[in-house]
Structure formats: structure tokens, C-alpha cells
Structure 1
Amino acid sequence: MRLFSPFIIILILLAACSADKKATKAFRYGKYQSAIDLYKKQLSDKAKAPRANYFIAESYRLSNRIKEAEAYYEKAGGRGINKDSIKFYYVQALKANGKYNEARAQLEDLSKNAEEEKVRDRAKAELDGLSYLENLKTKASYYKVKNLELINTPSSEYSPAFLNNELFFTSSRGNGKIYQGNGTPFTDIYKVASRGANVDLATLAPMPEGINSENINDGCITFSPDGKTMVFAKGNSGKKKGGEDVDLYISRFRNGAWQAPVPLNINDPEAWDSSPSFSPDGRTLYFASNRKGRGRDKTGYGGTDIYSAQMDSRGRFSRVKNLGPEINTPGNELFPYVAEDMKLYFASDGHPGFGGLDLFVVMRQKGRTVIENLGEPMNSSGDDFGIFLFKADRGFFTSNREGGKGDDDIYTFVNEDPDLKVVNYYLQGITYTKDSVDNNQILPNTKVSLVDANGDVLQDFVTGNDGKFLFRIYDNEDYNLIGQTDGYLVKRQTYSMRGKGVDPTTLKELVTNITYDTIMILDRIELNKIFVLENIYYNYDKADIRPDAAKELDKLVQLLVDNPEIKIELSSHTDSVDTEAYNLDLSQRRAQSAVNYLVKKGIESQRLVAKGYGESKPIARNTNPDGTDNPVGRQKNRRTEFKILAIGVVPKKVEESEDEEFDEDKYFRGSGN
């Protein structure tokens, strides 16, 4: 019997240890194709095979090839590896390969027997999703799809964008060096002349050097509506300290050329930031990111989430905001796109889908956010993503479904729904202030926010020198408009679309745009400036707050909440009926009653001063020149006002009493007329 020497055994063990380290290092640094190749060499070792299968499966999943992961998840295991996690991703691989019955069986077991509650909950949600798909398949689909064969190759083509009769897309064609993250060549951005979906292949060309970079993945491009600003993703050099190295870059078109791109300030250096898309007005940038939670507006809900960022008049981005749990899930949401009708489209593997990434659309219906799967044939068991509409009923998207020319392919689609009618409602307005002679004067650089009935901010707009703002609004919804700029009181006013919409069936055009007009007048913050509160009435000889007066005082409560830096005097005035002393006492009681109401509504008492002026400051005649009664004048004199006493007040926190609640009935007295 031949025996190995101790020296040979040590060499074998060292070689095995070195191979393990190489595989682990490749996986850790996102070189997934290298990891796959290294771990496959361990499959013949029965002791290492279960763990090797797991890392091969994970490498395929993390490099967007989950179809190929199925066989490896089925055999995966090993010490320290979560079995429930293996089974959950095995389900995703089964769905990606169209094996829905097998996926259902795995989910039923997982929903009952998974150790962690959150895994059981996700499994139950996936089961509900399979039932949703069965119902979805029964609905009529008017979509027709077609492979855009002229530009697709055995390489990857994805993320189409259309501008000024040119189709832009990302492709791995023409690059020899392999990116170790997924085993395919690095990607560049290309463009080709196109009349809709009719491309002129003779014009196909890569974007210029500086936009594309050698041995760097460049892709996922978007343009501002005027075509002068471009944002795209760049990264994955293979030399990263980790796998998350994709950032967003911006370039501007000046003097006939694209300027050198620079990173956007909204990038997270530790995260993957990609798939950007401008809103139709060019003021909002949507993108996907796997950044960690850092405060309320950046809290992630899963893998990759969709975020928005606002662009100001100088082209700078700020106010990054997560779109929230209605859209983002524990899975991955990415490739956002907002069409001309302001519907948000995106790709997700977290919402109920056919497998891999599916295409979804977000709509507003009766004040609610409704998310719908676009169904087949737009979606398949593969990855379907990167949608772009060049008309209201047609556009492009990306898919790696069966029957394509290679990896990811670009497809065209048309929506042949005979009842398709797009009605876009817009609210346009101008921000003003009053000049010295009480005329309207345009107020520029004002932030105007559109807020829905639930208090959620739907859109922000910063006015330019013309003071104009524009919002997309929806039928049968109620809104608040909030205007604010330095040196002026925050203004809040309502706008309702109830009863203003049109019946789409009466329209002949595919797209109809309807615009409504409004104005917003902001008041300058000035010491001793007086504002009259409308409709603050009291019953005769009473100081109790009537229900109709309470509604008006609630508006003052909101104004004080919106403008926490001001202190006011709340004053009450009477007409000249009864004695001067009596009227002075009555007005003081009324002013104090109003102040008490505001305090009970949460306004700090140190911000309020009650003052009764009686009949001493009339704004109209109480009697006519002939001495007869002037009821109109007396009505004007019976008024409530507030005056700004101080600016820059720092409110003191008032502890709420636990044993005393505000009894509104105590303040609602009288018949009200």
C-alpha cells in the first residue's frame, strides 16, 4: 500500500486552504463569476459540496442569473447557512424557470415551518402572489410585444431611453475584457437614430469617450426633458474594495458636446446607486439604491429601494426621499420611470410577479396608491424591466425571457386597448405678495408643495422669477397647497378636484391635457402687521367660541404651527352698542376665549397675547351721517384680528397633561347664526 509522506499531505491541505480562501475572497468582493468557477471545483468533494452549492447559487442570484441558481439551491446546505433562506431563494429560482407548482409546494412548507416569523410572513405573501397571478392571467391583455431584433445581439442590451428621435441603451457588445461580477464583458452606452421603434442601424454608435470608460460598466441613462442634462450610472471596475461601487454621474451638453461627467452629490459612497430617471418636468430624479437606513427619508425596506431627489433652479439635487413601503418591499425595486401621465413604472421581485423582475405601474385611484402588475406578455418568468414610453400607448422595455437573441434584449410594445384614454390634469399657479398699494406682485423663489388629504407631500415645486408653479393632480381628490419662502408667512390653502373631471369616454384623442389655474398670495412677516380673521362671530353678549368660529380659529392654529417663529396678539373688537366700559370688558373676554381655544389646540401660551379693544378702533361707521343705524358698518367692526408682536420666537416645550383632555363641546355654545 502506497502512503503519502507528511510533507505531501501538508502541501495538499495548504492548497485546499488556499483554494477556499480564493473562493471566499472572490465572493466577498463581488467577483461572482470567479467565485462560481472556484466553488464548482469543490463540488466533487462530498464534504464541501453543500456549502459550495450555496455560494454558487448565491453568486448566480447576486449577478442577476437566478434561473441558473435553481439546481444549486436544491443541493445547498452546510453549517451556519440558514436553511429557510436557501428554500426562499430556491422558490425564486423555481418561479424564474416557470415552475410555479413546485414553487407553491415549497412556499406552503415554508409558510408553516420556517423558524423566523418574517420568513413565514414573506412565504405567505408569496403564496398570495401566486393566487394573484392566477387571477391576473384571466384578465384581457391588450399589450403586444416584439423583440427589437435589429439592435439585439448575443450580448446584453438593456435600459432603453428615447430622446429627440434617438434610442439610447446599454450593451456589453464590443468589449473584450470580462467583468468578474457576472462573467460578461463590461458595458457601454450606445445610441441609434430611431423613428419610434424603427431604428436606423447604420447610425449605431457608442457614446463618446469620457461618457464611456474602458473597463468600467457604464449604463442606465436618463435625460432631462430639454435634452441638455444627462444622468447615468457608472461603476463596477472590478477593483473595488467591495461589491457596491455603482454611482450616478451627471453631464451637461454645452458648446455642442457633453461635458466631463461628475458624480452626483446624492450618491452614497457605501451603496449601489443606479437606474436613474427624470420626471417629465425634469425637476425630480428617481433612482434605485441599496443604501442603509439613515433617518426617516432614507430608511431602506429591503434589497434595493426606489428613491427620489429634487433638483433646484441651479441644477443641484437635494431632499433624497424613499418612496415608502407601498412601493418598496423586502425584495428589490429598481428601474423607475415616470411617464407623461405621471404614472410611475418600475421593476420589482418583491411584489407578486411571474418570476425574477416584473414590470409594475403605480396609479392614483380615489386618493389611494394602487400598484398593478402589467401582466403577460409584458412580464414573463424571466427578468422584465427598464420600461420607457415614447408615446402614451407604445414604448420599449428589457427582458431576458426565452426566445431572445442572447442575454438581456430590448423589446418594443404597443397597448391596443380600444378604451385607452389618457387624461392629464394639471394645476398651474403663480405666487404673489402684496406691494405697498395692495396690488399683487410676483414672488419668485417660493417653494410650493402639493399635499394630499392624508397630509402626505405629493410634489414640491420651487418657482422661478415668473413665480409660476405646476402640479399633476387627479380627479376627485382634495389637496392643500403650502407656499413658503424666507421672510414670509407660510401660506396654506385648499384646492379640490371634486366635480371638475371629465368623462374619458367622451374624448376622441388618445391624450387630453386639462389645466386649471390658481394663485397663492404670501404675506410678508412684519412686526405689528395686522390680519383680520374672517367669520369669527359670537352670539350676542357672549364670549363662547361657536362651531363656525372654531373652524376659522383652526386655520389660525395651522398658521401658527406652520410659522413657529412668530408671537401674536389676538385682539377682539366690538361695535358701539352699549357702554364703552362694557364693550371693553366683552372684547377682552372674547379675545381671551379665543386664546384659550388656541392653547387647548396645542399652541404655546407664551406665543399668544389676548387683547380687547372694545369699540375704540372702528374700521367702519357704526351709524350713518344722519344718525341712523348702520348694521353693515357695525358688522365690520365686530371683528377678530391678530398682530405679529415678535419674530424669531423659540417655543418652550409644554408638557401635556395626562388627566385633562380638550372638551370641544365646552367651547361650542350657541345656535350659531
Structure 2
Amino acid sequence: MNYLRLLHILRRQRQNLLLAVGVTMMLTACGIDRNIKKGEKHLSLGEYYDAATQFKTAYQRTSPKDRRQRGELSLKMAGCYERISSSQRAIAAYRNAIRYKLDNGETHKRLADNLMKEGSYAEAVKEYRIALDSMPNNQLIAQKMQTAPIAAGVKERGSKYIVKRMDVLNSRRQDYSPMLFGDKYEQLYFTSTRNEAKGDELSGITGAKAGDIFLSEKDDKGKWSTPKAIESALNTEADEGTPAFSVDGREMYITQCLTDPSYPRYAQIAVSNRSDAAWGKATKLEISRDTLSSFAHPAVSPDGNWLYFTSDMPGGKGGLDIWRVRLTGGTTGGVENLGEPINTPGDEEFPTFRPNGDLYFSSNGHGGLGGLDIFIAKVGYDRRYHLEHPGFPLNSQGDDFGMTFEGIHNRGFFSSNRGDGRGWDHIYSFELPEIIQTVKGWVYEMDGYELPAAQIFMVGDDGTNKKLAVKGDGSFEQEVQPGVNYIFLATCNGYLNHKEEIKVGTVENSKVHTLQFALAGINVPVLIDNIFYDFDKATLRPESEKALDALVNLLKENPNVTIELSAHTDYVGSADYNKRLSQRRADAVVAYLTTHGIVKERLTPVGYGKERPKKIRKKVTEKYSWLKENDVLTEEFIKKIDKEKQEIANQLNRRTEFTVLRTTYGMFDEKGNLKQQPRPKKKDSLDDDGMIIIDIP
């Protein structure tokens, strides 16, 4: 091969190489533009994880010499990483933007926020100072610069809270917003994006699956089961999370983010109804006509009258605020912003309540240890909220939120992304050891079952006046304060009222005061248990006094009631003799009642002898399995059963009962007008005679 031939070949190769480089540069530029456009598209839809991926690819393809574009892409990545709580990546991206001279006051403020989330308090103070120099009138930055130096001391000082990570509940993805449920708080619902969640696609927002509601249950030994997705139409391929329950446990409120490839993801609150122990498909709850704002993180007030939630709707203090809307008959009406001191120019989210009315929420606008911190809002004597910061370790440098309480006790679960480099949230348990006194009560029908439809009115001489909800097992639980005298009144449609009083003293250890509310039905005969007479006589024995005194109290608590007081015998003996004996016994009970202050006009004694054998109610069959509901203990029925069972049946027939005849005694004058109009309730809930005044619907 001669020299000219070789030179020609080398010249052609150089031309080809230059052409290839030019084409590569053109293709790279086109690829970068394509990544940026995809990133912007994802960003407009709120798909921060996918947007960050595209911006990162564009950044890596951009020449280091193109400092402006690299700086702009760094800012975009930082914003996306911040949105998905990946604070370490956000810090690196913000620092890159500063290195490329594309920073401003907001850049340094956001860098400081993320440094706080990593516990780098000293560095955060420096960045806040730079941000404040650029934005001297920004009150939020000024506040954070003041509280950041304090954070290290708060963390070092700690608190009495005991916090443990619940590995049995957590996965390698997001697990958050736990909510206890059940009469014994034996069920824990929460949100998870673990692999078992529905759907196959990964969320463009988080890079994980869309969230579903999962359930773990506690056994008799206190051990929590491996969580499983609830078997319900509630979970879909969209995002469902942050469950909250109505007071009666029949409704579940959730946050729902539906998928739409063309529009941004706006969160909405949906409600699912419970039927046959299963949750139905959730339907949107109409809170406002605003279609461009998010509504999330539902929480029901202890009295069931208000739904609290998080929203960025107009009219707030800035960022995300906590609002509330009145719940009335399955609908909503009257949206209110909680205002100061709860809401700030920052973000306030994840409201929840302790049964005592304390409002817990998370905020990054009140200062704290880093990201979202948990705050407690308590209503003082001035009827205003006063805020408390529970300190470390309930709060951390990360995001801490989503509280749920085991009844009145200051223990339960919450969620936090502390110590997770990817920003995943996990579930933690918490407990604050404390000496408390509580009232544990049960409401049930006399000779029958629990009454979950009942209500409890609680009044104390310290000004307390509350309406308490009764759970499905007929129980309620309420914290009480030392040195206060309380009255608890149980009411239920179709039943007479019943009142209990307690005086709460000072104790060295936690104490539970137990109360029983056995309500007498208006429409059925009510057995007066433990009434004893001398054999074959109408003389009341001394051991009957406790039951008779209880009946006296019942009639005094229900002064407008008249009753028939009936006595019954077994079938042994003649009908005439049994009728006369039972009449004398009924007269003896009435005589006891009248000597203890009950007007005789309210009492009708009747001796039925053996004319009305007992009709068995379901509750009795639990004690005597050989009996069935609605069995009637006639002489014919008894003689067909075993001798031993015959004596039990005869004992059941030998009984004293009362039946409500009227509920309006003494209420009207001769002209049929109501004698005494209801008086307005006074501020201290007491009338001039020291009697308790309670508003009962």
C-alpha cells in the first residue's frame, strides 16, 4: 500500500470520526431534551419519583461545562427528592445547585429544612441565616433559625416516652398512619405500599406500589399477626390510606388518590360503610365544591360531630392547614379553618384525637427536631388551644406523624421515617408511663344484653360536662381527675335512665373505677333479682334490702314513671292460695318502697300467683342450655323435664318483677299543660338546689 493511498484512508477515517462525534452530540442533546420534557410531564402530574429519575438522567448527560443547565436540573431533582422525603438526596442536589451558582434564599431555606431532617442542626442554622439575609421579612425562616439550635438540646434531654419499632408490622416499603379499632383495640389498620398491595404498577409518585389498607390482629397473648390486605372492595389499584373510624365503628374514612394519566393527583376523602364485618367500596365524601385542592388525613372528633382533615384549599394560613367540617346525618356542612395557634405558614397534617379531646397533629411550621413533628393541642380554661411539644423520642429529626391511642391510655402507635435513608415510613409503638384514674363502665339491659346504642352523660363539679359514646360491647372508658365528684347518667331509647356517682381521690398508682349500668326496659317485665321472702310467707328477708334499695334509686332517678309491681309463684299449691300469697308479697315490696320515699300513686301491686309462668329470654339460655328462647315454664313444660331441672324451672317462676305503666306521671296539670318548662342549662351545670342539669336529646 503506497503512501498516498494510506493518507487518503486516514483522511476519510478522520472525517467519519468527526461526523460521528457531531451526530452523537446532536443525539445527546435530543436525549437530554426528551428526558427534561418527560420529567416536566411527570412533575406536572405530581409523579415526583418518575420526574426525579428523568431529571437525574438529563443531569448525567449534561456536560459539566453547561453549568446553568446542571444547576437548573439540580434544583428540579432536589424539589422532587424533598417531596418523597429522600432528604439525603435532596441535600446533595441543593448543594449542587449552590455550587453551580443557581441558588437563592429559598434554595438555602430548603437545604436547611433537609439538613434538619438529618439531624445536622449546626449546618442548618448556617443555611437559615443565609436564607434570612435574602428574605429578611420571612417569619417562618426566622422562627426556624431560632428553634434549630434548641433542637439538639431537646433531643439530648429526651422524655419519658418509650418508643419501639414494630418489625412485625413493617415491610421494606411504606407503612404508616396506623389506627386501632375494635372494642378491645385488638385490630390495627394502616397504610402500606408493600408487595402484597393491589396492582402491578409502581407509583410514579413514590416509586413503590400504590397504598392499600392492611390489617393486623392481636391475639389473647398480646401478639400481633402478620399484616394482610383487608378483604374488601375498599382497596383498589389506586392509593388508599390514612384510615379513621366513626365513633360507632360503622364507617371508615380514608384518603384516596385516584389515577388519571392526564391530570394532577388530587387527594380526596372517601368513606366506606361496614356491613357483616366487611368494609364496602369507598365513595367520595363531598366536603367542598373546590376541585383544585386536596383533602386528606381524616379524623373524627370524640363526640362524632366533626371531621377534621388536611387541605391546601384557599383561605388557610399557608401550605397545608388543618380544617374541620360538621358531620350531620351522613352529609357535611360548614367548613372551618382551625386557625392559629395550630396552623402556620408551614404544613400542618395528620390530625387525630385522644378520647379526652386532646388534638394531636404534625407540623413543620412550629419548629421542632427536623421534619414533621408531633404537637399536642389542648383546650384550656380560656377555651383556646394551647400547644405542647412532647419531645424526643416521640419526635425525631425525621417525619413523625399518624398517632393512634389504645383507648384513654397514653400508648399506641405512630409512624416515622427516622433512620431510613430512602425516606420510607415505618410503624412504631409508644407509651408514656403515667398515673391515671379511669372509669370503666358497662351499659346493658336488666336480664339481657349490652346496649351499644346507649349514651353516657358525664358531669363533674369542676365544670366537666361530656357526652360519652358506648362501644359495641356496651362498655365505655373515660379518664377522671383527682379531687372531682362525678355523676354518670346512662340513657337509651326504650329504657329507664340510671345514674351512678363517684368521688375521685388521690392515688399513688393508676386506678380503674368500675361502674355497672343495668337499664330497665320500658316494654318488657323486668326481673328484680335477689328478692327473698320467708318460706310460705310474705315477709321480706334482710338480704333483699340491697335489691330493693336499688329499685328505690331507680324510681327516684325516673320520677315520671309509674310501675306495676308483680309477684309470681310456682305451680305447687292451689291457684287461690298462690294468688293470695303473691299479692301479699307484692304489697310487702310496695310498702318498703313507700317507706323509702316513693309515692304510692306510682306503684300498683299485683299478685299473679301461678297465672303467668316465666317466658324465657335469650340471656337465660346462656346459663341454662337446656332452655330455649321463648320457652314458657308452664306446669306441663316443667313436668316433662328432669327432676333436677324442674326445681330450677320452679325457682325461675318464683320471682318479683316490675313493668313500666307510664312515663309521664306528674308532668301535666289538670288542663293537660306541661307543668314545668325545661330550664336553660347554667354555665356550671348545676341548678340552685345543687342538682345536676344535663341536656339529653
Cα distance in 2 for residues equivalent to 1:213 and 1:411:
26
CA contact (8 A) 1:132 1:352 kept: no
Aligned mates of 2:134, 2:309 — CA distance in 1: 34
Partner of 2:518: none
Question: What is the Cα deviation at residue 67 of structure 1?
Answer: 3.8
Can you list the C-alpha shifts for 1:550-599, whole angstroms capped at 9, x where unaligned?
Answer: xxxxxxxxxxxxxxxxxxxxxxxxxxxxxxxxxxxxxxxxxxxxxxxxxx
Superposed, which structure 2 residues align to 1:394-409 within 5 Å?
Answer: 394-402=411-419, 407-409=424-426
| Secondary structure in 2 matching 1:64 | coil
Does the Cα contact within 8 Å between 1:352 and 1:373 map onto a contact in 2?
no
For 2:359 and 2:155, the matched residues in 1 are separated by 22
Paired amino acid for 1:263: K
Give the CA deviation at 1:279: 1.3
* Equivalent-residue separation in structure 1 for 2:304 and 2:220 (angstroms): 22
- The residue number in structure 2 matching 1:610 is none
Paired AA for residue 338 in structure 1: F
Q: 2:175 aligns with which of 152, 157, 160?
A: 157
Structure 1 253/338 Cα, relative in aligned 2: closer, same or farther at 3 Å? same
* 1:343 pairs with 2:366: no
Matches within 5 A, 1:163-242: 163-164=181-182, 165-173=186-194, 174-175=196-197, 176-194=200-218, 198-201=222-225, 204-214=227-237, 216-237=238-259, 239-242=261-264
SS in 2 for 1:184: coil
What does residue 636 of structure 1 align with?
none
Residues 75-111 of structure 1: per-residue CA shift (max 9 Å, x gap) = 2269997611111010011011110000111222332
| Residues 228 and 253 in structure 1, CA contact (< 8 A), matched pair in contact too | yes
User: Is 1:33 the equivalent of 2:53?
Assistant: no
Q: TM-score, normalised by structure 1?
A: 0.59
The C-alpha deviation readout for 1:646-672, integer Å capped at 9, x for no partner, is xxxxxxxxxxxxxxxxxxxxxxxxxxx
Q: How far apart are 1:139 and its partner, in Å?
A: 5.2
Describe the SS at the equivalent of 2:116: helix
Q: Check the 8 A contact 1:98/1:381 in 2, yes or no.
A: yes
Q: Relative to 1, partners in 2 of residues 1:88 and 1:274: Cα closer, same or farther, differing over 3 Å?
A: same
SS at match of 1:388: strand
Task: Tell me, in whole angstroms, the C-alpha distance in 1 between the residues paired with 2:120 and 2:75.
Answer: 20
Which of 317, 324, 334 is 1:319 aligned to? Answer: 334
Distance 1:130 1:422 in 2: 37
- In structure 2, what is the Cα distance between the partners aligned to 1:423 and 1:263? 38
Matched residue, 1:87: 108
Instruction: State the match for 1:363 in structure 2.
Output: 378
Note closer, same or farther for the CA distance 1:511–1:97 as it changes in structure 2 (3 Å cut): farther
Give the partner amino acid of 2:340: P
Equivalent in the alignment of 1:76: 97
Q: Is 2:88–2:421's contact at 8 Å kept on the other side of the alignment?
A: no
Asked if residue 101 in structure 1 is aligned to residue 119 in structure 2, the reply is no
Tell me by how many angstroms 1:22 deviates: 1.6
1:134 is displaced (CA, Å) by 5.0
Secondary structure in 1 matching 2:58: coil
- Does residue 288 of structure 1 match 2:310? yes
Give me the whole-angstrom Cα distance separating, in 1, the residues matched to 2:421 and 2:98: 34
The 1:300/1:81 distance shift into structure 2, 3 A limit, reads: farther
> Is the contact made by 2:240 and 2:256 (CA closer than 8 Å) also made in structure 1?
yes
**How do residues 507-518 of structure 1 correspond to structure 2 at under 5 angstroms?**
509=510
Q: How far did 1:407 drift?
A: 2.2
Q: Secondary structure at the match of 2:214?
A: strand
2:26 and 2:410 map into 1 onto residues whose CA distance is 68
Please say if residues 155 and 369 of structure 2, whose CA atoms lie closer than 8 Å, have aligned partners that are also in contact.
no
1:333 to 344, 348, 355: 348
Post-superposition offset of 1:213: 0.2
The alignment partner of 1:380 has SS state of coil
Question: Alignment partner of 1:41: what SS?
Answer: helix
Q: State the secondary structure of the residue aligned to 1:25.
A: helix
Partners of 1:310 and 1:276 lie apart in 2 by 13
Query: Which ranges in structure 1 are unaligned for 5 or more consecutive residues?
Result: 293-298, 425-457, 462-470, 476-501, 515-673
CA distance in 2, matches of 1:321, 1:132: 33
Kindly state the Cα deviation for residue 24 of structure 1 after the two structures are TM-superposed.
1.6
Q: Unpaired segments of 5 or more residues in structure 2?
A: 1-13, 440-464, 469-477, 483-502, 516-697
Are residues 181 and 512 of structure 1, via their aligned partners in 2, closer, same or farther at CA, if it must alter by over 3 Å? farther
Q: Does structure 1 retain, via aligned residues, the 8 Å contact 2:321–2:347?
A: yes
Shift of 1:269: 2.2
- Structure 2 CA distance for partners of 1:116 and 1:211, relative to 1, 3 Å: same
Given the two structures, how large is their TM-score scaled by the length of structure 2? 0.57
Residues 1:239 and 1:403: Cα distance change in structure 2 (over 3 Å): closer
Does the residue aligned with 2:97 lie in a helix, a strand or coil? Answer: coil
Aligned to 1:374: 390
Q: Is the 8 A contact 2:245 2:299 kept in 1?
A: yes
Q: How far off is 1:199 after superposition? A: 4.0
Q: Flag the 1:302–1:472 CA change in 2: closer, same or farther, 3 A.
A: farther
Code of the aligned partner of 2:398: G
In the alignment, does 2:169 pair up with 1:146?
no
Separation (CA, whole Å) in 2 of partners of 1:92 and 1:156: 22
Q: In 1, Cα distance between the equivalents of 2:134 and 2:437?
A: 46
User: SS at 2:170's partner residue?
Assistant: coil
Equivalent of 1:261 in 282, 298, 308: 282
Give me the identity figure in percent.
27
SS of the residue corresponding to residue 75 of structure 1 reads: helix
| Secondary structure of 1:117 counterpart | coil
Cα distance in 1 between the residues matched to 2:149 and 2:27: 56
Residue 234 of structure 2 aligns to a residue in which SS?
Answer: coil
Higher strand share: 1
Query: Residue in 2 aligned with 1:455?
Result: none
Residues 421 and 504, structure 1, Cα contact 8 Å, conserved in 2? no
2:103, 2:24 → 1: CA distance? 36
Answering whether residue 35 of structure 2 is matched by residue 19 of structure 1, we say yes
Q: Deviations over 1:307-366 (max 9, x none)?
A: 111111x22111111110311111111110011110000111111111111111111334
| 1:230–1:251 Cα contact (<8 Å) kept | yes
C-alpha distance after superposition, 1:442-464 (max 9, x if no partner): xxxxxxxxxxxxxxxx9999xxx
Distance 1:134 1:213 in 2: 43
Q: Tell me the SS of whatever aligns to 1:227.
A: coil
1:138-170 deviation per Cα after TM superposition (whole angstroms, max 9, x unaligned):
756110011111111111111000111211011
- Provide the residue aligned with 1:114 in structure 2: 134
